[in-house]
């Protein structure tokens, strides 16, 4: 596994009490030792994403605005999203991690890459930075792959809906976007009937789940609803927006997962693509202990290493949502 990161990502700061803190990245670094993974991974320094690629995913106005705010000493973009002096560069390194992963995986250097970067990205739309996110890291990678002729699956299991990723690919038939998320919750998007537009109709799959949902429901949703659509799409690459804030200990959400659930779900998703065509991106996760444990469980799964972690969960609500989603997609065919 490639462990792709850059020390400059720690320099992005949003305020002393902000949940998206530099300590989050340190918690993910700690996961390497927690699961004894140092010898199983190759450390890679992420480069900056080229400005022209950022402007190909986002509007030029957004890229220019983040650069200008950062250059003048920082400022608040919205209630949740802050730009510091180091943020523009940090965000470019975060977006560059996926591009470096694709290049190295293409050379056969590893089977999978894990991008340990921040700021996160999945709330950043074409024209707006929001929800702690400046640029959309997974979308930058997916766009590069799609432009090269690949069919890309993005699976987002952050507890918050990846509205930015959905916005960027909503009418793009080259990218299948799947989101498992808490409902209701920020940012208020991700209903079942948000399923794509125009040529992209049917290539957005939202699974909005109630608070307290456990791992068995996620796995049922994958097996019964999502997997058949993924198989029909025939992706050549799989990208995961790995948000660990659906963990039951997370302070800003209300879901019921454990590290063991993350490991099981991730293994299901990664089976879709062959080795060398799989990239995992860090998104949310705000309880530092849970973040370390969950990242360790996922990375141990990626390298096929046994790891004694929290048990998977079952018995929570949400099964009825799967039936509603299946019924909705039946009306599209």
pLDDT tens sequence across 270-326: 999 999 999 999 999 999 999 999 999 999 999 999 899 999 999 999 999 999 999
- Tally of domains in the chain: 1
| Contact criterion met (CB below 8 Å) for 39 and 305 | no
Active-site residue among 12, 123, 181, 247? 123
pLDDT of residue 233: 97
Q: DSSP state, 237?
A: E
| Contact criterion met (CB below 8 Å) for 153 and 112 | no
Q: What angle do CA 215, 221, 222 make, to 5 degrees?
A: 90
Q: 226 φ, ψ to 5°?
A: -75, -45
pLDDT of residue 332: 87
**Coil, strand or helix: which one is 59?**
coil
Q: 293 φ, ψ to 5°?
A: -65, -45
Between CA 264 and CA 156 the distance in angstroms is 15
The candidate with the shortest Cα–Cα distance to 46, out of 106, 109, 94, 114, is 94
- pLDDT of 81 higher than 80: yes
Mean pLDDT computed over 16-29? 97
- pLDDT of 333 higher than 90: no
Mean pLDDT computed over 123-146? 98
Q: Does pTM top 0.85 for this prediction? A: yes
pLDDT band at 27 (very low <50, low <70, confident <90, very high): very high
Q: 242 φ, ψ to 5°?
A: -90, 90
- Mean pLDDT, all residues of the chain: 97
Residues pairing with 194 in the sheet: none
* Percent of the chain's residues with pLDDT above 90: 98
- Which domain, by its residues, includes 49? 2-332
CB within 8 Å of 10: residues ≥ 6 apart = 22, 25, 26, 90, 118
Each residue's pLDDT tens digit, 202-258: 999 999 999 999 999 999 999 999 999 999 999 999 999 999 999 999 999 999 999
229 is known as an active-site residue? no
* Alpha helices (H) along the chain: 22-34, 51-57, 60-71, 87-106, 137-147, 163-169, 215-220, 227-233, 259-270, 288-302, 319-332
CA 321 vs. chain centroid, Å, equals 22
CA 192 vs. chain centroid, Å, equals 19
**Which string of b and e fits 184-199 if b means at least 16 CB within 10 Å?**
ebbbebbebebbbeee
| Contact criterion met (CB below 8 Å) for 83 and 247 | no
Mean pLDDT computed over 63-78? 97
Each residue's pLDDT tens digit, 139-189: 999 999 999 999 999 999 999 999 999 999 999 999 999 999 999 999 999
> Any idea what the CATH number is for the domain that residue 52 is in?
3.40.800.20
Between CA 19 and CA 245 the distance in angstroms is 11
- Residue 21's alpha-carbon distances to 12, 120, 159, in angstroms, are 8, 11, 18
* Percent of the chain's residues with pLDDT above 70: 100
């Amino acid at each position: 596994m490639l462990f792709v990161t850059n020390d400059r990502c720690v320099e992005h700061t949003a305020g002393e009490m902000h949940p998206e803190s530099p300590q989050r990245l340190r918690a993910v670094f700690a996961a390497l030792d927690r699961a004894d993974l140092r010898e199983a991974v190759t450390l890679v320094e992420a480069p900056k994403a080229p400005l022209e690629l950022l402007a190909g995913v986002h509007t030029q106005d957004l890229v220019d605005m983040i650069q200008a705010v950062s250059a003048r000493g920082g400022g608040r973009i919205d209630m949740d999203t802050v730009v510091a002096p180091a943020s523009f560069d940090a965000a470019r390194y975060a977006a560059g991690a996926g591009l470096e992963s694709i290049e190295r995986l293409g050379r056969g250097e590893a089977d999978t890459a894990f991008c340990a970067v921040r700021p996160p990205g999945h709330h950043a739309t074409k024209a707006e930075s929001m929800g702690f996110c400046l640029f959309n890291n997974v979308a930058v990678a997916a766009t590069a792959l799609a432009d090269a002729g690949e069919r890309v699956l993005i699976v987002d299991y952050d507890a918050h809906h990846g509205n930015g990723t959905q916005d960027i690919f909503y009418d793009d038939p080259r990218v299948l976007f799947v989101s498992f998320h808490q409902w209701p919750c920020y940012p208020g998007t991700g209903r079942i009937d948000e399923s794509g537009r125009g040529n992209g109709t049917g290539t957005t799959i939202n699974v909005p789940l109630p608070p307290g949902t456990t791992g068995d429901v996620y796995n049922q949703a994958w097996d019964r609803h999502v997997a058949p659509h993924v198989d029909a799409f025939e992706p050549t690459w799989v990208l995961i927006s790995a948000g660990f804030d659906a963990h039951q200990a997370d302070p800003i959400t209300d879901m019921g997962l454990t590290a063991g659930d993350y490991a099981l779900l991730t293994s299901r998703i990664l089976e879709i693509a062959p080795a060398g065509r799989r990239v995992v991106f860090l998104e949310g996760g705000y309880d530092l202990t849970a973040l370390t444990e969950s990242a360790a469980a996922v990375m141990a799964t990626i390298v096929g290493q046994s790891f004694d972690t929290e048990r998977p969960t079952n018995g929570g609500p949400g099964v009825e949502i799967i039936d509603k989603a299946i019924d909705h997609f039946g009306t599209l065919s």
